[in-house]
Amino acid sequence: MIFLTVGTWRTGYDRLIKAVDKLANSGLITEEVIAQTGYSSYKPKHMTVIEFCSPDKFVNIISKTRIVISHAGMGTIIEAVKQSKPLVVLPRKSALGEVDNEHQFVTAKQLEKEGKILVAYEVNELPDKLKEAETFVPVQGQGSNEILQVVQEFIDDLITRKGSKSNGR
C-alpha cells in the first residue's frame, strides 16, 4: 500500500493529489493508495480517500504502508523517518499559491542531502522517485541540528526582507 498525505494546510494540495491519481490511473502505481486529502478540492478517482485523520490513525496508516508520498510537512517527514518508511515529497510552491513561502523547499533540500527523504521538485519526477523509493531506506539519527539551523536561517531571512519592505526599502 502507498499512503499519500497532504496535511491540513488551508489551501489543500490538488497538484500532488491529481499527479498521484493520474499515476494510479495509468498503471504506473499498481497497488492500493490511501489518500489523506485535507482541504483539497480535487476528488481522486483511483484512490481510497480520507480527508482528515487523527494522529493515532495517521501513525497506524504509515506503519502499514510501503511508501509514503507527501508535501514536505515536518509531521509526515518525522513519522516516516522514525518508522524507516521511504518518503517521496513534492514540496509546495509559493508561486502557485500552495504555501506562503518556500520553507518546504528549504526543508526538503536539506533532508534530501541528509539521505532522509527523496524529493521530486516537479510532478514529472514522481515516477522516477517512486521507483527509487522501492529500495530507499532513510538515514536515521544525526542531522536534526543542521536542519534546525537551515530553517532558522530561512526564517531570519524572511524577517529581514519583511522588515526591509515595511521600512520603505
- State the architecture of 2-166 in CATH terms: 3-Layer(aba) Sandwich (3.40)
pLDDT over threshold 70, residue 150: no
CB 37 within 8 A of CB 101: no
Grid cell locating 116: 532522509
CB 147 within 8 A of CB 114: yes
Rg of the chain on CA atoms, in Å:
16
CB 72 within 8 A of CB 92: yes
pLDDT over threshold 90, residue 99: no
- Total-model pTM: 0.81
pLDDT score of 17: 97
pLDDT over threshold 80, residue 169: no
State how far the Cα of 92 lies from the Cα of 56, in Å rounded to an integer.
25
pLDDT over threshold 50, residue 167: no
Residues forming beta bridges with residue 89, ordered by sequence position? 70, 119
pLDDT score of 100: 74
Residues forming beta bridges with residue 88, ordered by sequence position? 69, 118
User: Residue ranges per domain, the chain?
Assistant: 2-166
DSSP strand E in the chain: where?
Answer: 2-5, 33-36, 48-50, 67-70, 87-89, 118-119
Q: What mean pLDDT do residues 100-115 have?
A: 86
Q: Which of 82, 58, 76 is nearest to 16 (CA)?
A: 76
